[in-house]
Amino acid sequence: MYSIRNTICTLLLSLPTVLFGQQVLTIDQVLEEVARNHPSLQAFESRVRSNEAKAAGAKAWMAPMVGAGTFMTPYPGAELMDDAEKGAWMFSAEQDIPNPSKTKAKEKSVLAQSAVIQAEQKIKANQLRARAKELYYGMLTLHKRSAYQQESKMIMQTMKKLAEVRYPYNQGSLGMIFKAEGRLYETDNMLLMTAGEIKSKKIALNALMNRRADVDFTVDTTLRVGFSPLASLDTSYLSANRSDIIQMDRSILAMERNIQQMREEAKPDFRIRFEHMANRSQMMPNQYSLMGMISIPIAPWSSGMYKSEVKAMSFEQEAMRKEKESMLTEMLGMTRGMENDLRNMEKQLRNYEDKILPALKKNLKVSMLSYQENKEDLNTVIDGWEAVNMAEMTYVDQLQRFYEMIVEYEKNIER
Protein backbone atom coordinates (compact mmCIF):
# COMPACT_ATOMS: atom_id res chain seq x y z
CA MET A 1 0.00 0.00 0.00
CA TYR A 2 2.84 2.33 0.90
CA SER A 3 4.62 1.67 -2.40
CA ILE A 4 1.42 2.39 -4.33
CA ARG A 5 1.01 5.74 -2.56
CA ASN A 6 4.66 6.54 -3.33
CA THR A 7 4.14 5.70 -6.99
CA ILE A 8 1.04 7.92 -7.22
CA CYS A 9 2.90 10.80 -5.54
CA THR A 10 5.81 10.42 -7.92
CA LEU A 11 3.47 10.49 -10.92
CA LEU A 12 1.70 13.60 -9.59
CA LEU A 13 5.02 15.37 -9.03
CA SER A 14 6.22 14.53 -12.52
CA LEU A 15 2.92 15.53 -14.16
CA PRO A 16 3.75 19.27 -14.52
CA THR A 17 6.97 18.34 -16.31
CA VAL A 18 5.08 16.15 -18.73
CA LEU A 19 2.39 18.73 -19.37
CA PHE A 20 4.38 21.93 -19.35
CA GLY A 21 7.87 20.79 -20.32
CA GLN A 22 6.91 20.59 -23.99
CA GLN A 23 5.28 23.29 -26.04
CA VAL A 24 2.23 22.05 -27.94
CA LEU A 25 2.32 23.44 -31.47
CA THR A 26 -0.75 23.32 -33.69
CA ILE A 27 -0.40 22.83 -37.43
CA ASP A 28 -1.43 26.46 -38.02
CA GLN A 29 1.30 27.72 -35.67
CA VAL A 30 3.91 25.61 -37.44
CA LEU A 31 2.86 26.84 -40.89
CA GLU A 32 2.86 30.44 -39.67
CA GLU A 33 6.39 30.15 -38.27
CA VAL A 34 7.67 28.53 -41.47
CA ALA A 35 6.16 31.32 -43.59
CA ARG A 36 7.57 34.00 -41.32
CA ASN A 37 11.04 32.66 -40.50
CA HIS A 38 12.33 30.43 -43.30
CA PRO A 39 15.48 32.02 -44.82
CA SER A 40 14.74 31.04 -48.42
CA LEU A 41 11.48 33.01 -48.41
CA GLN A 42 13.31 36.04 -47.02
CA ALA A 43 15.86 35.66 -49.83
CA PHE A 44 13.09 36.06 -52.41
CA GLU A 45 12.04 39.32 -50.77
CA SER A 46 15.60 40.61 -51.13
CA ARG A 47 15.62 39.62 -54.80
CA VAL A 48 12.37 41.53 -55.38
CA ARG A 49 13.82 44.63 -53.72
CA SER A 50 16.94 44.22 -55.88
CA ASN A 51 14.83 44.20 -59.03
CA GLU A 52 12.88 47.24 -57.88
CA ALA A 53 16.18 49.05 -57.35
CA LYS A 54 17.19 48.12 -60.90
CA ALA A 55 13.87 49.46 -62.21
CA ALA A 56 14.50 52.76 -60.43
CA GLY A 57 17.67 53.19 -62.50
CA ALA A 58 16.21 52.03 -65.80
CA LYS A 59 15.60 55.63 -66.99
CA ALA A 60 19.11 56.81 -66.19
CA TRP A 61 21.24 58.34 -68.97
CA MET A 62 24.77 57.42 -69.88
CA ALA A 63 27.49 59.50 -68.21
CA PRO A 64 28.55 62.63 -70.16
CA MET A 65 31.92 62.66 -71.93
CA VAL A 66 34.30 65.62 -71.67
CA GLY A 67 37.62 66.11 -73.41
CA ALA A 68 40.45 68.57 -73.94
CA GLY A 69 43.14 68.81 -76.61
CA THR A 70 44.43 70.85 -79.51
CA PHE A 71 42.70 71.91 -82.72
CA MET A 72 44.44 72.49 -86.08
CA THR A 73 47.85 72.67 -84.41
CA PRO A 74 50.84 72.40 -86.81
CA TYR A 75 53.53 69.78 -86.22
CA PRO A 76 56.72 70.94 -84.50
CA GLY A 77 59.17 72.49 -86.95
CA ALA A 78 56.50 73.53 -89.44
CA GLU A 79 56.97 77.03 -90.91
CA LEU A 80 54.13 79.38 -89.90
CA MET A 81 53.04 82.21 -92.16
CA ASP A 82 51.35 84.14 -89.32
CA ASP A 83 50.05 83.70 -85.76
CA ALA A 84 46.65 82.53 -86.99
CA GLU A 85 48.24 79.22 -87.96
CA LYS A 86 49.22 78.35 -84.38
CA GLY A 87 45.91 76.48 -83.91
CA ALA A 88 43.72 76.45 -80.82
CA TRP A 89 43.01 74.70 -77.55
CA MET A 90 39.82 72.67 -77.81
CA PHE A 91 37.42 71.62 -75.05
CA SER A 92 34.50 69.31 -75.77
CA ALA A 93 31.44 67.89 -73.99
CA GLU A 94 29.22 65.09 -75.30
CA GLN A 95 25.98 63.53 -74.00
CA ASP A 96 23.99 60.56 -75.23
CA ILE A 97 20.23 61.07 -74.86
CA PRO A 98 18.28 57.79 -74.91
CA ASN A 99 14.86 57.61 -76.46
CA PRO A 100 12.27 57.98 -73.62
CA SER A 101 10.13 55.16 -74.98
CA LYS A 102 13.13 52.82 -74.73
CA THR A 103 13.79 53.64 -71.07
CA LYS A 104 10.09 53.21 -70.22
CA ALA A 105 10.05 49.81 -71.95
CA LYS A 106 13.19 48.78 -70.04
CA GLU A 107 11.62 49.79 -66.73
CA LYS A 108 8.48 47.74 -67.45
CA SER A 109 10.62 44.75 -68.42
CA VAL A 110 12.56 44.87 -65.14
CA LEU A 111 9.37 45.26 -63.08
CA ALA A 112 7.84 42.27 -64.88
CA GLN A 113 10.77 40.18 -63.62
CA SER A 114 9.89 41.23 -60.05
CA ALA A 115 6.42 39.74 -60.53
CA VAL A 116 8.02 36.47 -61.71
CA ILE A 117 10.23 36.38 -58.60
CA GLN A 118 7.19 36.92 -56.36
CA ALA A 119 5.49 33.95 -58.04
CA GLU A 120 8.64 31.87 -57.44
CA GLN A 121 8.42 32.83 -53.77
CA LYS A 122 4.86 31.47 -53.65
CA ILE A 123 6.02 28.23 -55.26
CA LYS A 124 8.71 27.84 -52.61
CA ALA A 125 6.25 28.73 -49.83
CA ASN A 126 3.84 26.05 -51.09
CA GLN A 127 6.64 23.46 -51.10
CA LEU A 128 7.70 24.39 -47.56
CA ARG A 129 4.11 24.32 -46.37
CA ALA A 130 3.63 20.84 -47.81
CA ARG A 131 6.88 19.65 -46.24
CA ALA A 132 5.85 21.03 -42.84
CA LYS A 133 2.45 19.30 -43.09
CA GLU A 134 4.10 16.04 -44.08
CA LEU A 135 6.41 16.14 -41.05
CA TYR A 136 3.63 17.23 -38.68
CA TYR A 137 1.20 14.54 -39.84
CA GLY A 138 4.06 12.04 -39.74
CA MET A 139 4.55 12.86 -36.06
CA LEU A 140 0.81 12.34 -35.50
CA THR A 141 0.95 8.82 -36.93
CA LEU A 142 4.14 8.06 -35.01
CA HIS A 143 2.47 9.07 -31.73
CA LYS A 144 -0.44 6.79 -32.62
CA ARG A 145 2.02 4.00 -33.40
CA SER A 146 3.76 4.60 -30.07
CA ALA A 147 0.42 4.44 -28.19
CA TYR A 148 -0.39 1.10 -29.83
CA GLN A 149 3.07 -0.22 -28.98
CA GLN A 150 2.74 0.90 -25.35
CA GLU A 151 -0.61 -0.85 -25.12
CA SER A 152 0.85 -4.02 -26.63
CA LYS A 153 3.74 -3.88 -24.19
CA MET A 154 1.38 -3.63 -21.19
CA ILE A 155 -0.65 -6.60 -22.45
CA MET A 156 2.44 -8.75 -22.91
CA GLN A 157 3.79 -7.71 -19.51
CA THR A 158 0.53 -8.92 -17.97
CA MET A 159 0.71 -12.22 -19.85
CA LYS A 160 4.32 -12.73 -18.82
CA LYS A 161 3.44 -12.15 -15.16
CA LEU A 162 0.55 -14.62 -15.40
CA ALA A 163 2.85 -17.19 -16.97
CA GLU A 164 5.40 -16.68 -14.19
CA VAL A 165 2.66 -17.14 -11.54
CA ARG A 166 1.39 -20.32 -13.21
CA TYR A 167 4.74 -21.93 -13.84
CA PRO A 168 5.36 -23.15 -10.25
CA TYR A 169 1.93 -24.88 -10.34
CA ASN A 170 2.74 -26.72 -13.60
CA GLN A 171 0.13 -24.65 -15.45
CA GLY A 172 2.61 -23.27 -17.99
CA SER A 173 6.04 -23.96 -19.44
CA LEU A 174 9.28 -22.08 -19.00
CA GLY A 175 9.50 -21.71 -22.78
CA MET A 176 6.30 -19.67 -22.79
CA ILE A 177 7.78 -17.26 -20.25
CA PHE A 178 10.88 -16.77 -22.41
CA LYS A 179 8.73 -16.35 -25.53
CA ALA A 180 6.70 -13.61 -23.82
CA GLU A 181 9.94 -12.00 -22.63
CA GLY A 182 11.29 -12.00 -26.18
CA ARG A 183 8.12 -10.33 -27.45
CA LEU A 184 8.55 -7.67 -24.77
CA TYR A 185 12.09 -6.91 -25.91
CA GLU A 186 10.87 -6.68 -29.50
CA THR A 187 8.24 -4.16 -28.41
CA ASP A 188 10.92 -2.15 -26.59
CA ASN A 189 12.95 -2.05 -29.80
CA MET A 190 9.95 -0.86 -31.77
CA LEU A 191 9.30 1.85 -29.19
CA LEU A 192 12.92 2.99 -29.45
CA MET A 193 12.66 3.10 -33.23
CA THR A 194 9.42 5.10 -33.09
CA ALA A 195 10.91 7.56 -30.57
CA GLY A 196 13.92 8.03 -32.87
CA GLU A 197 11.68 8.76 -35.85
CA ILE A 198 9.69 11.29 -33.82
CA LYS A 199 12.92 13.03 -32.80
CA SER A 200 14.15 13.14 -36.42
CA LYS A 201 10.90 14.71 -37.63
CA LYS A 202 10.99 17.17 -34.74
CA ILE A 203 14.52 18.26 -35.74
CA ALA A 204 13.40 18.66 -39.37
CA LEU A 205 10.39 20.76 -38.32
CA ASN A 206 12.60 22.97 -36.14
CA ALA A 207 14.85 23.52 -39.16
CA LEU A 208 11.86 24.53 -41.29
CA MET A 209 10.79 27.00 -38.59
CA ASN A 210 14.39 28.30 -38.42
CA ARG A 211 14.72 27.29 -34.77
CA ARG A 212 17.44 25.43 -32.88
CA ALA A 213 17.37 21.70 -33.51
CA ASP A 214 17.08 20.92 -29.78
CA VAL A 215 13.97 23.06 -29.13
CA ASP A 216 11.43 20.66 -27.66
CA PHE A 217 7.76 20.63 -28.59
CA THR A 218 4.95 18.21 -29.25
CA VAL A 219 2.19 18.10 -31.83
CA ASP A 220 -1.52 18.39 -31.18
CA THR A 221 -2.43 14.70 -30.96
CA THR A 222 -6.14 15.54 -30.83
CA LEU A 223 -6.03 16.77 -34.42
CA ARG A 224 -8.17 14.80 -36.85
CA VAL A 225 -7.03 15.15 -40.44
CA GLY A 226 -9.82 14.54 -42.91
CA PHE A 227 -10.15 14.64 -46.67
CA SER A 228 -12.44 17.27 -48.13
CA PRO A 229 -12.31 17.37 -51.95
CA LEU A 230 -12.56 20.68 -53.74
CA ALA A 231 -15.98 21.09 -55.35
CA SER A 232 -14.89 23.66 -57.96
CA LEU A 233 -11.81 21.85 -59.24
CA ASP A 234 -11.21 22.57 -62.92
CA THR A 235 -8.52 24.11 -65.12
CA SER A 236 -9.73 27.64 -64.42
CA TYR A 237 -9.32 27.08 -60.67
CA LEU A 238 -5.83 25.65 -61.15
CA SER A 239 -4.91 28.52 -63.47
CA ALA A 240 -5.98 31.09 -60.88
CA ASN A 241 -4.51 29.37 -57.79
CA ARG A 242 -1.48 27.28 -58.77
CA SER A 243 1.60 29.40 -58.13
CA ASP A 244 3.64 27.64 -60.82
CA ILE A 245 0.91 28.43 -63.38
CA ILE A 246 0.81 32.02 -62.12
CA GLN A 247 4.58 32.13 -62.51
CA MET A 248 4.23 30.91 -66.09
CA ASP A 249 1.61 33.59 -66.80
CA ARG A 250 3.93 36.22 -65.40
CA SER A 251 6.85 34.82 -67.39
CA ILE A 252 4.74 35.10 -70.54
CA LEU A 253 3.94 38.71 -69.59
CA ALA A 254 7.63 39.35 -68.88
CA MET A 255 8.44 37.93 -72.31
CA GLU A 256 5.88 40.32 -73.82
CA ARG A 257 7.63 43.20 -72.05
CA ASN A 258 10.96 42.01 -73.46
CA ILE A 259 9.46 41.86 -76.95
CA GLN A 260 8.11 45.38 -76.54
CA GLN A 261 11.51 46.56 -75.33
CA MET A 262 13.18 44.97 -78.33
CA ARG A 263 10.66 46.58 -80.70
CA GLU A 264 11.56 49.97 -79.24
CA GLU A 265 15.06 49.41 -80.63
CA ALA A 266 13.62 50.53 -83.99
CA LYS A 267 13.32 54.04 -82.56
CA PRO A 268 16.29 56.44 -82.78
CA ASP A 269 18.59 57.60 -79.98
CA PHE A 270 20.09 61.06 -79.76
CA ARG A 271 23.45 62.66 -79.03
CA ILE A 272 24.56 66.22 -78.56
CA ARG A 273 28.15 67.47 -78.78
CA PHE A 274 29.58 70.91 -77.95
CA GLU A 275 33.16 71.95 -78.77
CA HIS A 276 34.92 75.15 -77.79
CA MET A 277 38.16 76.31 -79.54
CA ALA A 278 40.32 78.87 -77.73
CA ASN A 279 42.74 80.18 -80.39
CA ARG A 280 46.38 80.58 -79.43
CA SER A 281 46.65 83.62 -81.62
CA GLN A 282 45.35 86.89 -80.19
CA MET A 283 44.27 87.94 -83.67
CA MET A 284 41.78 85.06 -84.14
CA PRO A 285 38.44 84.92 -82.26
CA ASN A 286 37.41 81.94 -80.15
CA GLN A 287 35.15 79.48 -81.96
CA TYR A 288 32.66 76.77 -81.08
CA SER A 289 30.92 73.83 -82.67
CA LEU A 290 27.47 72.51 -81.65
CA MET A 291 26.23 69.28 -83.20
CA GLY A 292 23.13 67.14 -82.68
CA MET A 293 23.09 63.52 -83.90
CA ILE A 294 20.42 60.87 -84.31
CA SER A 295 20.83 57.12 -84.83
CA ILE A 296 19.11 55.36 -87.74
CA PRO A 297 18.31 51.86 -86.40
CA ILE A 298 15.95 51.09 -89.29
CA ALA A 299 18.91 50.81 -91.64
CA PRO A 300 18.84 47.33 -93.23
CA TRP A 301 22.30 46.38 -91.93
CA SER A 302 21.32 47.16 -88.31
CA SER A 303 17.61 46.30 -88.11
CA GLY A 304 18.18 42.55 -88.52
CA MET A 305 19.39 42.19 -84.92
CA TYR A 306 16.28 43.36 -83.10
CA LYS A 307 13.90 41.95 -85.70
CA SER A 308 15.33 38.43 -85.28
CA GLU A 309 15.21 38.79 -81.46
CA VAL A 310 11.55 39.79 -81.60
CA LYS A 311 10.74 36.80 -83.79
CA ALA A 312 12.67 34.38 -81.54
CA MET A 313 11.00 35.66 -78.36
CA SER A 314 7.56 35.45 -79.99
CA PHE A 315 8.12 31.75 -80.72
CA GLU A 316 9.34 31.22 -77.15
CA GLN A 317 6.24 32.96 -75.82
CA GLU A 318 3.97 30.71 -77.88
CA ALA A 319 5.84 27.64 -76.61
CA MET A 320 5.26 28.76 -73.02
CA ARG A 321 1.52 29.12 -73.68
CA LYS A 322 1.33 25.56 -75.07
CA GLU A 323 3.34 24.26 -72.12
CA LYS A 324 0.92 25.95 -69.73
CA GLU A 325 -2.06 24.26 -71.41
CA SER A 326 -0.33 20.89 -71.16
CA MET A 327 0.49 21.41 -67.48
CA LEU A 328 -3.10 22.34 -66.64
CA THR A 329 -4.47 19.24 -68.35
CA GLU A 330 -1.98 16.93 -66.61
CA MET A 331 -2.53 18.56 -63.20
CA LEU A 332 -6.30 18.27 -63.42
CA GLY A 333 -6.12 14.59 -64.38
CA MET A 334 -3.60 13.79 -61.65
CA THR A 335 -5.56 15.67 -58.97
CA ARG A 336 -8.84 14.00 -59.96
CA GLY A 337 -7.10 10.62 -59.72
CA MET A 338 -5.83 11.51 -56.24
CA GLU A 339 -9.39 12.36 -55.15
CA ASN A 340 -10.51 8.87 -56.17
CA ASP A 341 -7.56 7.21 -54.38
CA LEU A 342 -8.17 9.24 -51.22
CA ARG A 343 -11.85 8.24 -51.12
CA ASN A 344 -10.88 4.57 -51.40
CA MET A 345 -8.21 4.90 -48.71
CA GLU A 346 -10.70 6.65 -46.43
CA LYS A 347 -13.08 3.68 -46.75
CA GLN A 348 -10.27 1.22 -46.01
CA LEU A 349 -9.22 3.16 -42.90
CA ARG A 350 -12.83 3.25 -41.71
CA ASN A 351 -12.98 -0.53 -42.11
CA TYR A 352 -9.87 -0.87 -39.95
CA GLU A 353 -11.29 1.46 -37.29
CA ASP A 354 -14.85 0.08 -37.21
CA LYS A 355 -14.43 -3.61 -38.08
CA ILE A 356 -10.96 -5.14 -38.38
CA LEU A 357 -9.26 -3.75 -35.26
CA PRO A 358 -12.29 -4.16 -32.95
CA ALA A 359 -12.76 -7.77 -34.11
CA LEU A 360 -9.10 -8.68 -33.56
CA LYS A 361 -9.06 -6.99 -30.15
CA LYS A 362 -12.17 -8.91 -29.12
CA ASN A 363 -10.43 -12.11 -30.20
CA LEU A 364 -7.41 -11.17 -28.08
CA LYS A 365 -9.59 -10.44 -25.05
CA VAL A 366 -11.34 -13.79 -25.43
CA SER A 367 -7.97 -15.55 -25.66
CA MET A 368 -6.71 -13.72 -22.57
CA LEU A 369 -9.84 -14.66 -20.60
CA SER A 370 -9.54 -18.27 -21.73
CA TYR A 371 -5.89 -18.27 -20.69
CA GLN A 372 -6.75 -16.86 -17.27
CA GLU A 373 -9.33 -19.63 -16.88
CA ASN A 374 -6.71 -22.17 -17.96
CA LYS A 375 -8.65 -23.09 -21.11
CA GLU A 376 -5.99 -21.90 -23.58
CA ASP A 377 -2.21 -21.81 -23.55
CA LEU A 378 -0.04 -18.71 -23.89
CA ASN A 379 0.73 -19.46 -27.56
CA THR A 380 -2.88 -18.74 -28.47
CA VAL A 381 -2.74 -15.42 -26.63
CA ILE A 382 0.55 -14.47 -28.31
CA ASP A 383 -0.91 -15.34 -31.71
CA GLY A 384 -3.87 -13.07 -31.05
CA TRP A 385 -1.56 -10.36 -29.70
CA GLU A 386 0.63 -10.54 -32.84
CA ALA A 387 -2.45 -10.37 -35.08
CA VAL A 388 -3.58 -7.18 -33.31
CA ASN A 389 -0.07 -5.71 -33.53
CA MET A 390 0.22 -6.46 -37.23
CA ALA A 391 -3.20 -5.00 -37.98
CA GLU A 392 -2.46 -1.87 -35.93
CA MET A 393 0.87 -1.29 -37.67
CA THR A 394 -0.76 -1.87 -41.08
CA TYR A 395 -3.47 0.62 -40.13
CA VAL A 396 -0.90 3.21 -39.02
CA ASP A 397 1.15 2.73 -42.22
CA GLN A 398 -1.97 3.18 -44.33
CA LEU A 399 -2.98 6.21 -42.25
CA GLN A 400 0.44 7.74 -42.92
CA ARG A 401 0.07 7.16 -46.68
CA PHE A 402 -3.41 8.70 -46.44
CA TYR A 403 -1.99 11.81 -44.75
CA GLU A 404 0.85 12.03 -47.27
CA MET A 405 -1.62 11.90 -50.15
CA ILE A 406 -3.76 14.59 -48.50
CA VAL A 407 -0.64 16.77 -48.26
CA GLU A 408 0.12 16.14 -51.94
CA TYR A 409 -3.48 16.89 -52.90
CA GLU A 410 -3.51 20.15 -50.92
CA LYS A 411 -0.14 21.02 -52.44
CA ASN A 412 -1.62 20.55 -55.90
CA ILE A 413 -4.60 22.77 -55.23
CA GLU A 414 -2.53 25.08 -52.93
CA ARG A 415 -4.92 25.01 -50.01
- The arithmetic mean of pLDDT across residues 157-181, rounded, is 77
CB 121 within 8 A of CB 45: yes
Nearest to 183 by CA among 212, 214, 149: 149
Helical spans, DSSP H, in 209-299: 235-241, 243-263
* Domain spanning 29-58+113-266+304-413: CATH superfamily: Outer membrane efflux proteins (OEP) (1.20.1600.10)
- The arithmetic mean of pLDDT across residues 115-129, rounded, is 94
Indicate the domain borders of the chain: 29-58+113-266+304-413
CB 27 within 8 A of CB 101: no
| 4 pLDDT higher than 80 | no
Per-residue model confidence (pLDDT) at position 171:
62
DSSP letters along 347-362, please? HHHHHIIIIIHHHHHH
Per-residue model confidence (pLDDT) at position 15:
36
212: which residues sit within 8 A by CB, 6+ positions away?
A: 206
Distance set, CA 67 to CA 63, 64, 94, 237, 277 (Å): 13, 10, 9, 62, 12
Comparing 81-90, 250-259, 315-324, the range with the smallest average pLDDT is: 81-90
CA dihedral 92, 95, 96, 100 (to 10 degrees): -160
CB 215 within 8 A of CB 22: no
User: Given CA atoms 156, 160, 161, 163 in this order, what sign does their dihedral have?
Assistant: positive
| CA angle at 111 for the pair 106 and 116, rounded to the nearest 5° | 125
- The arithmetic mean of pLDDT across residues 74-80, rounded, is 76
Comparing 260-269, 295-304, 322-331, the range with the smallest average pLDDT is: 295-304
Distance set, CA 114 to CA 49, 107, 118, 331 (Å): 8, 11, 6, 26
Confidence label for 149 from pLDDT (cuts 50, 70 and 90): very high
- The arithmetic mean of pLDDT across residues 218-242, rounded, is 90
Tell me what the pLDDT averaged over the chain comes to. 87
Task: Compute and round to an integer the Cα radius of gyration of the chain.
Answer: 40
Per-residue model confidence (pLDDT) at position 9:
39
Comparing 199-213, 306-320, 396-410, the range with the smallest average pLDDT is: 306-320
Per-residue model confidence (pLDDT) at position 174:
77
Nearest to 250 by CA among 123, 408, 335: 123
Per-residue model confidence (pLDDT) at position 231:
86
| 172 pLDDT higher than 70 | no
DSSP letters along 317-337, please? HHHHHHHHHHHHHHHHHHHHH
Per-residue model confidence (pLDDT) at position 232:
85
DSSP letters along 369-414, please? HHHHTTSS-HHHHHHHHHHHHHHHHHHHHHHHHHHHHHHHHHHHHT
Q: Read off the DSSP letter of residue 210.
A: T
Per-residue model confidence (pLDDT) at position 2:
37
Burial group, residue 266, by CB count within 10 angstroms (0-12, 13-18, 19+): middle
- The arithmetic mean of pLDDT across residues 37-45, rounded, is 91
State how far the Cα of 251 lies from the Cα of 115, in Å rounded to an integer.
Answer: 8
Looking at beta carbons, which pairs linking 380-387 to residues 24 or more positions away fall under 8 Å? 381/159, 382/156, 382/159, 382/179, 382/180, 382/183, 384/360, 385/152, 385/155, 385/156, 385/159, 385/183, 386/183, 387/360, 387/363
Confidence label for 300 from pLDDT (cuts 50, 70 and 90): confident
Per-residue model confidence (pLDDT) at position 404:
95
Confidence label for 20 from pLDDT (cuts 50, 70 and 90): very low
